[in-house]
Structure 1
Amino acid sequence: MAEERLQKYIARCGIVSRRKAEELILNCDVKVNGQILKELGSKIDPEIDVVEVYNKKIYVKDGHIYIKLYKPEGYVTTVKDQFNRKTVIDLININDRIYPIGRLDYNTSGLLLLTDDGDLANKLLHPKYNMYKTNDAHVTGSISEESINKLRSGVLIDDNKTAPAKVKLLNKGDKSKVQISIYEGKNRQVRKMFDALGHSVIKLKSLSFGNINLGDLSVGQWKYLTDDEIKFLKR
């Protein structure tokens, strides 16, 4: 197998993001074949070398690929775009063919999951599994308690009433900040729900998918899911 940079291998094992992997190396928390290795440019052969983090052997899991990405604004959630806009796939430097689980629109940032496991992706997106997706929404105007209650009971959009949402008002004034969790995945649903109540969404950020969150990821970064995160999705 071809050699690869140590920090890339650590990230590929799903332990931490690549930036965090670099910190581990510089802090002398990584061993290769029993020896501390603290040079970021170092390369290893995953089939031959034994890599340890905090004295525990790490390895890349076999089977399907599961990734979480901190999507920036200005990227489309598709594999390819007919208008040659930047896609979320451009941010993930692997050769495997993966697909987004669900969709974040062009101007939305935050957590996005990707995988090559089509069966699991379809399962997770079905409303019957009640997989709540939590978002922070900055909206125009001072949102009322009445509007909050409407979000909680369901709002009429596209001639259909949405399922009840979990809603928390974080602050309000000339603009309001609302945390909203939904388990449906209709196109631009959160934005349309607020539009129906007379509030335009100024900024929208995806925080979590079930109990999977952004963790230590920075905007534009990604990492492989941990075993516990994968088990949660497959439960």
Structure 2
Amino acid sequence: MAKKQTAKQSGPRRTRAKEDVAPDVPVRLNRAIADAGVASRRHADELIRDGRVRVNGKVVTELGTKVGIHDIVDVNGEPITRYKHLTYVILNKPKDAITTSSDEKGRATVFDIVRIKQRLFTVGRLDRNTTGVLLLTNDGDLANRLMHPRYEIPRVYRARLDQPLRPEHARKIAHGIELEDGPTAPCEVVIDPDDHYNVMLQIHEGRNREVRRIFEAMGYEVKRLDRKSYAFLTTRGLNRGEYRHLTREEVEELKRLVKLA
């Protein structure tokens, strides 16, 4: 696990890792070519069928061929870069940081905090005023599956409401309510027994502003919203504005959750 560092400049602190996590299991040849940015998977299949791809000096025309990290792949006689470095980061997102790569209004983004050489994108989004767990990566396959509702990745939020949540409203939310973009899936709702303004909500979808819209539909305003966990990942050990790279074990567990391992 990466050791946290404090940034020299004022503002959010961040952490760095010594190395990125890169795939070390065999993958289909067309994916290796696509990952290198040479061609799409479909075009890569055409290149393979046409005999324009060599693996370790030998022409390969079988589409199902798999290659490992140490295999040398040539396309049209030119070696390809086998893998881009795959990077996986968890950020404890602070308030007022937006999750787009740039902002026409000049507002701070999460990419002003997570400054690393790889170009990353967020796994889903948190709105400007929401804090907590945010994943960033350049692994498109994993990100797309994590965001797909089919895999029902749990997200746990802690909401502070403008008024105590009534038990009958909690039951309705738990069973699913109707929003403008369709009904919500059943979820888990826990009211803080010591303070009914505070509510924990576990959902398995990633719709835009879903938690805020759920409470708004029931007549409540969310005053504060913090994502406490995503899958099994939490911000434990990270202050607001700090981040770390995921461990290899954490990456593999995420892949298992979405049937990539």
Shorter-chain TM-score: what band? 0.7 to 0.9
Runs (4+) off by over 6 Å? none
Work out the CA distance in 1 between the residues paired with 2:191 and 2:97. 28
Q: Which of 9, 12, 21 is the aligned partner of 1:61?
A: 21
User: Does structure 2 conserve the Cα–Cα contact (< 8 Å) formed by 1:69 and 1:112?
Assistant: yes
The reply on whether 1:152 has 2:174 as its aligned counterpart is: yes
After superposition, the C-alpha distances for 1:208-228 in whole angstroms (9 at most, x for unaligned) are 001011120000000000122
Q: Aligned-pair RMSD on alpha carbons?
A: 1.8
User: Does structure 2 conserve the Cα–Cα contact (< 8 Å) formed by 1:154 and 1:163?
Assistant: yes
Runs of 5+ unmatched residues, structure 2: 7-16, 23-84, 257-261
Q: TM-score when scaled to structure 2?
A: 0.67
* Cα distance, 1:123–1:176 mapped onto 2, change above 3 Å: same
Following TM superposition, by how much is the alpha carbon of 1:205 offset from its aligned partner in structure 2, in angstroms?
0.2
Work out the CA distance in 1 between the residues paired with 2:21 and 2:151. 26
Q: Which of 15, 23, 26 is the aligned partner of 2:2?
A: 15
Q: Which of 191, 197, 200 is the aligned partner of 1:176?
A: 197
Runs of 5+ unmatched residues, structure 1: 1-13, 20-45, 47-57
Q: Which has the larger radius of gyration?
A: 2
After superposition, the C-alpha distances for 1:116-141 in whole angstroms (9 at most, x for unaligned) are 01111111000110101111000111
Q: Name the % identity.
A: 35
The reply on whether 1:218 has 2:239 as its aligned counterpart is: yes
User: Does structure 2 conserve the Cα–Cα contact (< 8 Å) formed by 1:18 and 1:223?
Assistant: no
The reply on whether 1:70 has 2:92 as its aligned counterpart is: yes
Equivalent position amino acid for 1:195 in 2? E
Work out the CA distance in 2 between the residues paired with 1:171 and 1:91. 36
Q: Which of 160, 163, 178 is the aligned partner of 1:138?
A: 160
Structure 1 match to 2:112: 90
* Cα distance, 1:113–1:60 mapped onto 2, change above 3 Å: closer
Structure 1 match to 2:12: none
After superposition, the C-alpha distances for 1:133-179 in whole angstroms (9 at most, x for unaligned) are 11100011121111111111001111511001111111466x61000
Following TM superposition, by how much is the alpha carbon of 1:15 offset from its aligned partner in structure 2, in angstroms?
3.0
Work out the CA distance in 1 between the residues paired with 2:183 and 2:237. 36
Equivalent position amino acid for 1:209 in 2? Y
After superposition, the C-alpha distances for 1:4-44 in whole angstroms (9 at most, x for unaligned) are xxxxxxxxxx433335xxxxxxxxxxxxxxxxxxxxxxxxx
Work out the CA distance in 1 between the residues paired with 2:153 and 2:181. 23
Equivalent position amino acid for 1:227 in 2? R
* Cα distance, 1:189–1:172 mapped onto 2, change above 3 Å: farther
User: Does structure 1 conserve the Cα–Cα contact (< 8 Å) formed by 2:21 and 2:88?
Assistant: no
Specify which structure has the higher proportion of strand.
1
Q: TM-score when scaled to structure 1?
A: 0.74
Structure 2 match to 1:128: 150
Which of 202-211 and 150-159 deviates more? 150-159
User: Does structure 2 conserve the Cα–Cα contact (< 8 Å) formed by 1:143 and 1:172?
Assistant: no
Following TM superposition, by how much is the alpha carbon of 1:59 offset from its aligned partner in structure 2, in angstroms?
5.6
